[in-house]
Chain A
Amino acid sequence: MKELQTRLMPHQRRLLMAVPWLWLAVFFMLPFLFVVKISLSEPMLAQPPYADLIRSVEDGLVTIQINLGNYALLWEDPLYREALWGSVKVALVSTVLCLLIGYPMAYGIARAPSHWRLPLLMLIILPFWTSFLIRVYAWIGILKNNGLLNQFLLWLGVIDQPLAILHTSTAVYIGVVYSYLPFLVLPLYATLIRLDNTLLEAAADLGARPWRQFVSITLPQSLPGVLAGSMLVFIPVMGEFVIPDLLGGPDTLMIGKLMWTEFFANKDWPVASSLASVLLLVLVVPFVLMRHYEQRLAEEQG
């Protein structure tokens, strides 16, 4: 087929590649160079609020002033380290929670009678189409002190004092798991539904009981899907801002929220940029992992 393409589209072919490539290069990749650049400059009370790296051009000499102070600050001030650690913790724990809830759901949908599958899938996707912000907001009404959950538990008599959930880490976990669950269920379902049913029958025929069948056949076969899907949750949660901002409290330090504060409240663009640079560096590893497993999945599909 490549032969055909070469002959049929001599220059269109190059154009076809160039247009989306250039768009993404300019508006997606290039901006990160500026993030790194600004992270190396000094904050200033100005508009924009940073000093240019290139200070002066005199006698053909270009003076470049690189300022590593922002990174030193990140290293010295425990606030930033805690925020990074907080993000890693929230992302890791919520990914695991999403898996624990999402895997049985995906498995259940894949095993449901075929005419049930489409409606069940639609129900997973449907919340995704309604506003993310508003869905996070809904949890405020549920989790706050006189919210629905506390009213319900009080009515049941399980508790006699309202639980303080809103503005704690618990609320953040609930919000994250709630928002990112579909991202995991969908790829998991896609992997599980492709699973060859005769493999299970063969295992059963060879004497494996249902639980053994699941552990020895289904689970290993779905592992690439599990890992790719996990990264789909882990990576964006690392930089999550809305959920910790609306549901979290003083005990939830996350890097995304900190970046927002540095940028909008403190107007410290260089520190926000250096935080972004660090986060970018941290995210490279899970991103590479995700690409790896996605490509493996694609290969397995043929």
Chain B
Amino acid sequence: MLKKHPLLVLALVAGYAFLYAPIISLVVYSFNDSRLVTVWGGFSTRWYGELMNNEPLLEAAWMSIKIAGLNASLAVVLGTLAALALVRLRKQRGHQSLGVMVTAPLVMPEIMIGLSLLLLFVAMEDVFGWPQGRGMLTILLAHVTFSMAYVTVIVQSRLAHMDRSLEEAALDLGARPMTVFFTITLPLIAPALGAGWLLAFTLSMDDLVIASFVSGPGSTTLPMVVYSSVRLGVSPQINALATIIIAVVALAVLITGVSLYRKEMRQA
């Protein structure tokens, strides 16, 4: 089909070049010896070494990983509950409003979520004395709120495409609803849960704006450190960091892709 449309091929090639040129330039210049990021000064890995000695950045990275891991796990639980409610309880009160509340965080500008949550946390501390100050906990609460919406969307589409008669068959064979959920439903939506977890993890690792609002002293996340460094101009260390992130993601995608491919081959 595509062969007949040279224009489409051109659009694809140009589109992908646009998407990948910046990423490739990041990687290439991370091995640049020169401090001036865009002037080639010979191959070097010195920025990786400096990155490894950048204490504040490493600390922030560790903070981000902790938050992202907790966030992803919580978001998967809440997102799955929301997806189940949306797919299975269409006649229940609150279905319509839950649908709106799940869609809105997907598009709501981060700055709105960040500002509004900060105001909430301030007011809550004023009234209940909780959450005390702002830090890891408030970032976590904020991240769970918007990343659970993404998990919901992923799990929801998997649930909607799931054959309901599978669960009916399990009920018919004597399994109680809870057993059906854990032995049939959960294993069948597991891939969506995995994808949701990874996405929630990434979203949390990536967030600058919301964290900037709801973080406190001692809870600086990786994007916040990157941002303050980037504001001052280009920095080869950031290129090195970007390359590491890209390598990790590419590796994860490659492993998933290969295992998917193998699975398909085995079943075919």
Query: What is the interface of chain A, defined by CB distance below 8 A to chain B?
Result: 1-2, 4-5, 8-9, 12-14, 16-21, 23-25, 27-32, 34-35, 37-38, 48, 101-102, 104-105, 107-109, 111-113, 116, 119-120, 122-124, 126-127, 129-135, 137-142, 144, 146-148, 151, 178, 181-182, 231-232, 235-236, 238-242, 245-246, 256, 259-260, 263-264, 269, 272-273, 276, 279-280, 283, 287, 290-291, 294
B46 interfacial contact with A, CB 8 Å: no
Task: Please indicate which of the listed interface residues B15, B145, B233 has the most CB atoms of chain A within 10 Å of its own CB.
Answer: B15
Report, nearest first, the 5 A-B pairs whose CB atoms are least far apart.
A239-B109, A31-B116, A20-B82, A104-B11, A138-B22
Residues of chain B contacted by A5 (CB below 8 angstroms): 88-89
Q: Is the CB of B94 within 8 A of A17?
A: yes
- Can you list 26 A-B contacts (CB < 8 A)? A5-B89, A17-B98, A21-B101, A24-B148, A27-B144, A31-B120, A111-B5, A129-B252, A132-B206, A133-B223, A133-B227, A137-B26, A137-B238, A142-B22, A144-B234, A146-B38, A151-B38, A239-B108, A239-B109, A239-B110, A239-B111, A241-B109, A256-B109, A269-B119, A276-B116, A287-B104
What is the interface of chain A mostly: helix, strand, loop, or mixed?
helix
Residues of B114-151 whose CB lies within 8 A of A: 115-117, 119-120, 122-123, 141-142, 144-146, 148
Expressed in whole angstroms, the minimum distance between the Cβ of B244 and any Cβ of chain A is 10
Residues of chain B contacted by A23 (CB below 8 angstroms): 78, 144-145, 148
Asked if A127 meets B8 with Cβ closer than 8 Å, knowing A112-B2, A133-B230, A259-B115, the reply is no
Cα distance, A25 to B142, chains bound together (Å): 13
Residues of chain A contacted by B164 (CB below 8 angstroms): 1
Residues of chain B contacted by A139 (CB below 8 angstroms): 22
Q: Is the CB of A133 within 8 A of B208?
A: yes
B107 interfacial contact with A, CB 8 Å: yes
Expressed in whole angstroms, the minimum distance between the Cβ of A109 and any Cβ of chain B is 7
Cα distance, A16 to B78, chains bound together (Å): 10
Expressed in whole angstroms, the minimum distance between the Cβ of B95 and any Cβ of chain A is 7
**A30-B120, A127-B23 are known contacts; what are 9 more A-B pairs with Cβ within 8 Å?**
A20-B79, A24-B102, A133-B223, A138-B26, A140-B233, A141-B37, A246-B231, A269-B119, A276-B111
Cα distance, A181 to B14, chains bound together (Å): 13
Expressed in whole angstroms, the minimum distance between the Cβ of B230 and any Cβ of chain A is 5
B48 interfacial contact with A, CB 8 Å: no
Residues of chain A contacted by B20 (CB below 8 angstroms): 123, 127
Expressed in whole angstroms, the minimum distance between the Cβ of A84 and any Cβ of chain B is 13
Asked if A27 meets B117 with Cβ closer than 8 Å, knowing A1-B164, A134-B238, A280-B112, the reply is yes
Cα distance, A240 to B209, chains bound together (Å): 10
Asked if A259 meets B111 with Cβ closer than 8 Å, knowing A107-B8, A291-B100, the reply is yes
Q: Is the CB of A272 within 8 A of B227?
A: no
- Chain A's closest residue to B4 (CB) is A210
Residues of chain A contacted by B12 (CB below 8 angstroms): 104-105, 108-109, 112, 120
- Chain A's closest residue to B90 (CB) is A2
Q: Is the CB of B25 within 8 A of A134?
A: no
- Chain B's closest residue to A280 (CB) is B112
Asked if A32 meets B116 with Cβ closer than 8 Å, knowing A107-B8, A137-B238, A142-B25, the reply is yes
